[in-house]
Structure 1
């Protein structure tokens, strides 16, 4: 399965612990989370962005042992954090015996290299972590191909030499008479790796295009039979699969984990009047979903773009539910589905605090409160789907 290269040696362990900060064999890698926040506040935010990053790390099998947040308007172009904070981060990494630093943002290759040199630990960004989570959850050949395509698109511009073995400049005068400035063995190897990655990307894109064509043929058959389609979408872990099971009687795997569903699942359902329609469970979204994933999962996301109705499932128990709605709608806009008819389902009302639920119902008066776990509100949701499809 793809993905091991993203966290590199921090995942492998050394069998000794201590020394280089990596976890012993059999133990999860230890990580420090890193984030920035605007200097003008953020105290009023209902949820800490690093909480979600920690959930992503936990899903990926990483043990979070520390956090560091700096208040600054924009990242330092060289080291992401300010110089003083980098020194403080190095001390925290040593104190917590961490072998990994995860930044809640996108890092340039230069920022990664400079941070690794300063703190003595492997450094990855939010995108790398999300890609690694996807890689571990990909089960079907289609899902694995899409995840690998996203990984390679991320990796290609970040290839760089390591140490003198991959020195990119041939120094001195070589046997053939060439002087300083010619390509050394490192640059030749990098070019070879780039060519290999480009060939693999081309092959994977061809596979994804074939998948898209196959899905398009299936959708065309449904249109001929005049069967409307409803696409379940929403933030990851909002309860889409559980709602699919409740509406259709299916037994799709349900897990309390981020990105448990990567491969679309199509089931048939019926309105209270008996009208059939298809209900498709799709991959969940997340704040700052990597563009590489949006591009690679184009064939899967087409199920949302081509749907007659988008059933947007919201976790009403999440403290940042409104921010999640905004994030999902941003992705829908990016893939060309923002203008589709949308029906909001406020899920998990059985565990949502009354105050939060009241605020959501005020903000989204047309939303339907439901609980996929208990069945509360499901008949109201069926009726709302029927009304939306009738329109």
Structure 2
């Protein structure tokens, strides 16, 4: 591992010539095959570094490494499409370094073999990128239709977000009995998974597990995983899961918040969950810090500790996003009344000659469904007096 502090990156080799020579010596001494840079390198920097280190040494930047990991983790057709698109868009400007062994120039105006091969490969790659984008757009439309059907069932949607390996999938499995892959490794989950959670008080919400974030997440991945990340924008509540036992927990929190700000979801209510509290040296101290922070719950998704507190906090947070309604339901709408009890918070029920008069906090989209039967709908700020 080599660390290097730079005022600004070298435009040719990212690092200085002295550090290039030092790394080359280490490569020869240790018989190194791959050199990984923890930052994104330009095509020119990659080409110059490989030339400096020797033709048999592969130079890999942060983006290429993450793409390789994503490629190994892609378990579904959608994830495979998303990763393939990101890889191709990453490779497109870097094709020139693949053909340096061929002739780049020839006499007169005739292009060299290498240059012609580059043009052919770029054209093929652009065509493949176009095909993948069309397939992903089809996936995006299908997911949008799925979300539309889900909106018709007015259960609040809670999305788990957080740094990779924070324990989001384990939390989903604990609460829902799902069998989502949950392993101690980076990016174990690439596809969003949604399951229904039934709380002890009979209330329900949908819980969605999303792809884990990471510091300096490549923009190509953010773009490729647009269909996945759109799930977050449709949420009633975001649950930011933090591995509080990790020594770099603060930096991971900042990385997640940075990506969230880029997704423009600041208007969605958020609940912070400090996970893996069973692994910290002083759990009681951490719990006291969480109480002082406010809107923070301590849990262990692995052991189940704190899950009741988590569900109660979700319940209270969802209430903030609801509106107050008074609606007269015909007696033949018993299923609707049952749904209100599941997804809303019923304040009062009164049986009249014409039907059941119900006063409750309900999700905004559900309030729209009740519009023909409503007596009164107030805004959220007024409703909280109810």
Query: Which bracket does the TM-score occupy, shorter chain normalised?
Result: 0.7 to 0.9
Q: Does structure 1 residue 157 correspond to structure 2 residue 85?
A: no
1:354 to 1:73, Cα distance in 2 relative to 1, 3 A: farther
Q: Determine the structure 2 residue equivalent to 1:255.
A: 183
CA apart distance, 1:273: 2.5
Q: Determine the structure 1 residue equivalent to 2:294.
A: 365
1:146 to 1:162, Cα distance in 2 relative to 1, 3 A: closer
CA apart distance, 1:165: 5.1
Judge conservation of contact 1:370–1:377 (CA < 8 Å) in 2: yes
- Choose which of 217, 222, 246 in structure 2 pairs with 1:318: 246
Q: Superposition RMSD on alpha carbons, in Å?
A: 1.8
1:257 to 1:358, Cα distance in 2 relative to 1, 3 A: same
1:277 counterpart SS class:
strand
Query: Within 1, Cα distance between the matches of 2:101 and 2:18?
Result: 32
Q: Determine the structure 2 residue equivalent to 1:347.
A: 275
Query: Within 1, Cα distance between the matches of 2:97 and 2:60?
Result: 17
- Choose which of 379, 387, 391 in structure 1 pairs with 2:308: 379
Matches within 5 A, 1:65-84: 67-84=1-18
Q: Determine the structure 1 residue equivalent to 2:28.
A: 94
Q: TM-score under structure 2 normalisation?
A: 0.79
Query: Within 2, Cα distance between the matches of 1:360 and 1:78?
Result: 47
Q: Does structure 1 residue 188 correspond to structure 2 residue 122?
A: no
Judge conservation of contact 2:47–2:97 (CA < 8 Å) in 1: no
Q: Determine the structure 1 residue equivalent to 2:70.
A: 134
CA apart distance, 1:323: 1.1
1:279-303 Cα offsets, whole Å, 9 max, x none, are 1111100000111110001001111
- Choose which of 200, 204, 209 in structure 1 pairs with 2:137: 209
Larger CA deviation: 223-232 vs 359-368 = 359-368
How many positions carry a matched residue from both structures? 317
2:223 counterpart SS class:
helix
1:378 to 1:164, Cα distance in 2 relative to 1, 3 A: closer
Q: TM-score under structure 1 normalisation?
A: 0.78
Q: Determine the structure 2 residue equivalent to 1:56.
A: none
Unaligned runs of at least 5 residues, structure 2: 321-386
Unaligned runs of at least 5 residues, structure 1: 1-66, 173-178
Matches within 5 A, 1:1-391: 67-120=1-54, 121-162=57-98, 166-169=102-105, 171-172=106-107, 179=108, 181-354=109-282, 357=286, 361=290, 364-391=293-320
1:189 to 1:199, Cα distance in 2 relative to 1, 3 A: same
1:318-360 Cα offsets, whole Å, 9 max, x none, are 1111111111111111122233211111000000232883696
1:228-261 Cα offsets, whole Å, 9 max, x none, are 1011110000000000011112222210100011
Moved over 6 A (4+): none
Query: Within 2, Cα distance between the matches of 1:373 and 1:313?
Result: 13
Query: Within 1, Cα distance between the matches of 2:312 and 2:126?
Result: 49
Judge conservation of contact 1:233–1:310 (CA < 8 Å) in 2: yes
